[in-house]
Structure 1
């Protein structure tokens, strides 16, 4: 699992695209500011979504940006869209590619050591990757792509160092083999570097570079020989190194022809306080999901693998969130009154949520069928699969709220879910059975989803969010 939640900040392209070709006729920043204000964009939205102090500052940055762009000529009346169906829906599968190497890696160091290490490093990568992406989106939105690339590189280095420290401490504490540190570092490098490739919309690169590793991992599963497992892990390490190299090259290539940028320290200083809620939310979401799964990674395979559908479906959640934004912006053009948009928006919200729940249910059926065929399907596994489907629905709504800059609301909603699980586990007699624990997690996930739906339904009254 990794972080795929979108940033509340948006880039200049996201600002300019919905306005069509009219903005390219502006001859000064004041004209751009007038256009933005006519679309309902306020100083508050400029701060929360684009990282600028006010509309005029944002207009100046947008005017400078459009002078470097080729004038588009879309078909008349066709709104430009942010949703990219195939690319975005593939994100979950792309993030899950290293899973093909898990059997080979477990055979080398032992599942009892590898799985706790991966849980710890995944949580750290979730938080570090989210924070770096958040700041990078803000810098790109302000017209500083070179600094954004530097932030992403720094996040990669910090993540790898953090994984090395955590895995090293775990290896010493549990007398695990040194190979555990190497595998955890490799997993962290892939997690953050793959996020960088997706940040720059290079999904194809990621799939092609990791293809040999997937083939090698599947070969080990088919053959089962220890030396084939060692070869598969080595191929995987080389492929991950290729992913890291491609990601670094992309960050270094950004802004080569752009004017000199102010020092990164000065640019980042004004945004660090705004990053805190996003950092807290990423930490809370990682804690909520990973603590529920970590208890079962060693001795309850039926529960541990039941949530695999959520990992595969994260790209679908991302796509549906972008599609909701596209449809909501189109709805603004079709209605006459705010109340009409609110009704249309709630229908779109319901449709998107149900589509996500249906897609995740289908994907979650895959591991359940595997468990049924192997005779290991249990009630607790079914409950865990249902809980992950519910969490996925909540993440879809959370993406929408994050796009509106309501990260503090997300933190409070996630804290409420954590108050049910794991805090509620303390009230279970004797810690409770695995089934009782999983059902409690499912209840917490449902509470999380309902709170977010209520927040989003109320937020649809603010039509300016989609202008």
Structure 2
């Protein structure tokens, strides 16, 4: 499928072919002028996707409506173009060489981002001895509620902040993106700390300090990720990650967490400050661009999507924590889902690349829809295979992990469907629909967990399956149209 070419009357670019002139054949039997013209313009009309392209060629050659009526017996150039279009079978020549694909992305870079999303989870391994104590009335380890509250606030705020900064980057205004992050990241860290402190209860100052560090990290990491500094962030996290991996295999001194966690946090914060420093030094008003329609409310659906997906992931992790014997049982499901965001991002690029191939290789709307759904199905299957491998791997190496049952595994995989289709819809701008579905699912799963309606492990497949079906329907309806991929 190609875009139509429209040329206003009177213009004649060099790329349009000139209609060749032929003398009439001698003798009393003259061929049909329309057949003769169709034969001369066969290559051009066969590749046209709309009669207006042919009309543009006729008008650019100087054919007036009077000449067309006299020679071909039709009223104007558009009628003649429609006649030629109907007489010629469609043929779309392949472009010379490989067509440009703007959606090519390296697998290593995407996997690196997934690793960066998951590495901070290792900080809870080092911090577990600092937060040791009896479980609270809800059966959760100490400080869990304050850490979950701070994390949810951070994910929600920073998802919206990242969207707003990315919009400025897309408009070519890097200075405005830096100013947005300079103001937004500290505000989000402060808000997350206040909310975590409000629900801390009797957890103590150590839990509040840990939650404050978590909120500061989320804001600083958002700055580095938005500005494309993934490798810098990885280097800053390596000492903490190495200490956590060591702690999983053998006991380490409690002071390891007191040293490595603040060191990594300070390093990430300083790197983020260095990244937005040009916005501090720049004179007021320098490089400011204002774009109509760039409202703060435009980032709200992205923030709600971040909140909803965060709640769904944490509900799954809380179920594992209630079933496990150790504080670290919180990690495996969340770590697997977070690590899977690397393959998920790469497969989103593969989907966009596949739809470009579909636009070139199909000639009807129905054929394009079928090709698009096949591509989406293959990408989703590949993501679920990667998620399954990560779930099995993390459960095998993580101490205190509850046994993986078929119901629990089904719930995790269905949640994977919700996350990947949600990210797919969000990448096409259909964020309102997926945010509404995910928020409804998050509310239902939270109520089921709080009220212990039925078995918590059975509620997850039902809620996740319903949301997955709703979002798969949205994908079929919205992304099966060629216009969604232009």
Q: TM-score, normalised by structure 1?
A: 0.73
For 2:424 and 2:313, the matched residues in 1 are separated by: 19
Instruction: Report whether the alignment pairs 1:261 with 2:283.
Output: no
Cα distance in 2, alignment partners of residues 315 and 272 from structure 1: 28
Does residue 251 (structure 1) correspond to residue 257 (structure 2)? The answer is no
Measured after TM superposition, the shift of residue 359 of structure 1 is: 0.6
Query: Counterpart of 1:134?
Result: 163
Given the alignment of the two structures, is residue 316 of structure 1 paired with residue 343 of structure 2, yes or no?
Answer: yes
Q: Say what the alpha-carbon RMSD is for the aligned residues.
A: 3.3
CA shift, 1:441, in A, is 1.3
3-state secondary structure, aligned to 1:201: coil
Matched, 1:455 2:474: yes
Q: Per the alignment, in what secondary structure is the counterpart of residue 340 of structure 2?
A: helix
Q: Secondary structure at the match of 1:348?
A: helix
Deviation at residue 149 of structure 1 after TM alignment:
1.3
Give runs of aligned pairs for residues 364-403 of structure 1, distance below 5 A: 364-370=391-397, 376-377=402-403, 379=405, 382-403=406-427
* Higher helix proportion (structure 1 or 2): 1
Alignment of 1:199-218 (within 5 A): 199-218=226-245
Instruction: Determine if contact 1:394/1:452 at 8 Å carries over to the other structure.
Output: yes
State the shift of 1:127 in Å.
Answer: 0.3
**Aligned equivalent of 1:340:** 367
Residue 94 of structure 1, aligned match among 81, 105, 116 = 116
Gaps of 5+ in 2: 4-48, 50-96, 134-140
Q: CA deviation at 1:247?
A: 2.2
The separation in 1 between residues aligned to 2:169 and 2:441, in whole angstroms, is 33
Q: Is the 8 A contact 2:332 2:395 kept in 1?
A: yes
The Cα shift of 1:82 comes to: 4.4
2:61 is matched with: none
Partners in 2 of 1:269 and 1:444 — Cα distance? 36
Distance 1:195 1:326, change over 3 A: farther
Structure 1 Cα separation of the partners of residues 273 and 401 of structure 2:
45
Is it true that 1:81 corresponds to 2:108 in the alignment? no
Residue in 2 aligned with 1:289?
Answer: 313
Unmatched 5+ stretches in structure 1: 1-18, 20-38, 40-74
Contact kept, 8 Å, 2:116 with 2:234, in 1: the verdict is yes
TM-score, normalised by the number of residues in structure 2: 0.70
Is 2:444 the counterpart of 1:417? no
Matched, 1:278 2:302: yes
Residue in 2 aligned with 1:15? none
1:440 counterpart = 2:465? no
Equivalent residues of 2:324, 2:400 under 8 A apart: no
* Residues 243, 340 of structure 1: alpha-carbon distance in 2 compared, 3 angstrom cutoff: same
Structure 1 contact 124–162 (Cα < 8 Å) conserved? yes
Which of 235, 248, 263 matches 1:238? 263
**Equivalence for 1:33:** none
The correspondence of residues 78-227 of structure 1 with structure 2, limited to 5 A, is 78-110=100-132, 112-171=141-200, 173-174=201-202, 176-225=203-252
Change (3 A) 1:401 1:336: same
Residues 244-275 of structure 1: per-residue CA shift (max 9 Å, x gap): 22223223358999993337xx6698412322
Aligned to 1:29: none
- The structure whose RCO (Cα within 8 Å, separation 6+) is larger is 1
In 1, are the aligned partners of 2:221 and 2:272 still within 8 Å (CA)? yes
Mean Cα deviation higher: 295-304 or 407-416: 295-304
Secondary structure of the corresponding residue to residue 262 of structure 1: coil
Tell me how many residue pairs correspond in the alignment: 383
Given the alignment, which residue of 354, 373, 383 partners 1:327?
A: 354
Query: Structure 1 residue 414: deviation in Å?
Result: 1.9
Deviation at 1:229, TM superposition (A): 2.5
Greater Rg over alpha carbons, structure: 2
Quote the offset at 1:424 in angstroms: 5.2
CA contact (8 A) 2:313 2:337 kept: no
Check 1:235–1:368 CA distance in 2 against 1; reply closer, same or farther (3 A cut). Answer: closer
Contact 1:95 1:191 in 2 (8 A): no
**Cα distance change on mapping 1:241 and 1:298 into 2, 3 Å:** farther
Mapped to 2, the partners of 1:159 and 1:294 lie a distance apart of 24
**CA distance change for structure 1 residues 218 and 293 in 2, over 3 Å: closer, same or farther?**
closer
Per the alignment, residue 55 of structure 1 pairs with none
